[in-house]
Each structure stands twice: as C-alpha cells, then as structure tokens.
C-alpha cells in the first residue's frame, strides 16, 4: 500500500516511516498542513496518517479540505489530546479512525489494516454511468463492452472516476503522470484525446468533458461547457 504520513515531529515521523516501510508499505511524508494537503490532493494514496497539531494548518483543517475536495482516501488521525471532543471533531471532519499518542507501531499497523479492510472493499470497482473500472483486474468496460487503455490513460481514468462528478485540474493530472517535471509540449491533451476516443467516441453519450483552461471532468452531463 502507498501511504502518506503528515507529522511535524521529526522523531515520530522517522519512527512511523521506518515501521511502515518495514511492513512493506511505500511511504511519502509531509511536515506541515498545507504541504500535506497538497500531496494528498495531487497524489494517489491508499491511506493517510494525519497528525492533529501541524504548522500552517491543523489536521482537522487538512481532513476537512480533503473531504470538501471530494477525496475519499481513508484517514487515521494522531493526537496527544485524549478528550471526547477532540475525537468527535476528528470523526466529524471525515477521519476514519483516531489514535492517541504515545502509541505502539504495532497498533498503528493494526489500525491501518482494519481501516483498509473496511474501505477497500467498497473501492475495488469504480463506476460512472455505464463506464466501469475494476481495480483488481484494471478491466475497463462501458455498456458491457471492453475498452483497452494504455497505462497513462488508465491512471487518468481512475483519477477522473474517483473524483466524478468534480472537475480535476490540469495541473493535478500533469503531476499524476509526470511528477514535478511535466513535458513542455501539451502531452496531457494528447492523452486525454486518446482517452476520449476510447471511452466516448463509440458511444452515443459523452462522459468526458473539457473545461477549457481549467481541467476535465467525468460525468453524464456537461456543467462546464
């Protein structure tokens, strides 16, 4: 699993990263709220470990920003404050679980496994209208017809389906494919053209819509022109 850890304490962060990496996970990290929110919104993670007390933006604000942006990634919040109000606030902002410091790495790993068991089952198949993506086999179908896509188009489609019906900005999609070094040419438009040819052209109703100068959205109707 690919995990994101947002924690400003360098010792705690190092221990979490080491423990999760030894358990076989791929781990990215951020040490402040705004940086963590940016990574969470632009990357693809199976779960986020999120500290409450962060510089720039606290964990509650980060979690609320994720959910307001339509991001369903599971969140386990970490805090040194073991009060009912704090736990309730964390859950109400969209967290899936709550772990009080100090904690054993074994407990964090167990909670990660439990949250993923609860959430991944519902996310193994994405569907928008009659378009489906099986996340176990990566088989794409529309109206029962199999659609073949290259790896880049599969990444784009997964992101658009997870965010549907929200708009995904061009910058987000470029970061998804090329990280911080997108090509100078308009390669994203070429990939989106291939994706549209595959998922829309053979069918009567378009699902992939362009919002010029902003980004793209996947849905049954076009709200953006």
d(CA 217, CA 222): 8
Q: Considering only CA atoms, which of 68, 220, 57 is closest in space to residue 131?
A: 220
Is residue 138 a part of any domain in this protein? no
d(CA 135, CA 97): 24
Answer yes or no: do 44 and 9 share one domain. yes
User: Which residue segment(s) compose the domain that 21 sits in?
Assistant: 2-123
**Threshold 0.85, pTM exceeds:** no
Q: What is the pLDDT of residue 166?
A: 87
Is residue 45 a part of any domain in this protein? yes
Among 89, 123, 157, residue at a domain's last position: 123
- Owner of token pair 């964990």: 59
Among 105, 123, 141, residue at a domain's last position: 123
Answer yes or no: do 31 and 114 share one domain. yes
- Provide the β-strand partners of residue 3: 27, 47
Q: What's the domain count of the chain?
A: 2
d(CA 8, CA 29): 10
Is residue 143 a part of any domain in this protein? no
pLDDT by residue (tens digit) across 20-78? 998 888 899 999 999 999 999 888 788 999 999 999 999 999 999 988 877 888 999 99
CATH number at residue 41: 3.40.50.2300
pLDDT class for 106, splitting at 50, 70, 90?
A: very high
Q: What is the pLDDT of residue 122?
A: 58
């Amino acid at each position: 699993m690919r995990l994101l850890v947002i924690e400003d304490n360098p010792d705690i962060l190092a221990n979490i990263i080491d423990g999760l990496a030894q358990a076989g996970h791929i781990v990215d990290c951020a040490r402040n709220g705004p940086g963590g929110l940016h990574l969470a919104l632009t990357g693809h993670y199976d779960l986020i470990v999120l500290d409450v007390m962060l510089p720039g933006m606290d964990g509650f604000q980060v979690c609320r920003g994720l959910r307001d942006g339509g991001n369903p990634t599971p969140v386990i919040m970490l805090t040194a404050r073991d009060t009912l109000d704090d736990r309730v606030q964390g859950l109400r902002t969209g967290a899936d679980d709550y772990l009080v410091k100090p904690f054993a790495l074994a407990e964090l790993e167990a909670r990660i496994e439990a949250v993923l068991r609860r959430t991944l089952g519902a996310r193994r198949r994405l569907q928008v209208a009659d378009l489906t993506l099986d996340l176990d086999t990566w088989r794409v179908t529309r109206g029962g017809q199999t659609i073949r896509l290259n790896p880049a188009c599969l990444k784009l489609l997964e992101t658009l389906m997870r965010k549907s019906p929200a708009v995904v900005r061009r910058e987000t999609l470029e970061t998804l494919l090329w990280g911080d070094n997108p090509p100078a040419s308009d390669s994203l438009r070429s990939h989106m053209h291939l994706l549209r040819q595959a998922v829309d052209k053979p069918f009567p109703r378009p699902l992939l819509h362009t919002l010029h100068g902003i980004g793209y959205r996947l849905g049954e109707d076009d709200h953006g022109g």
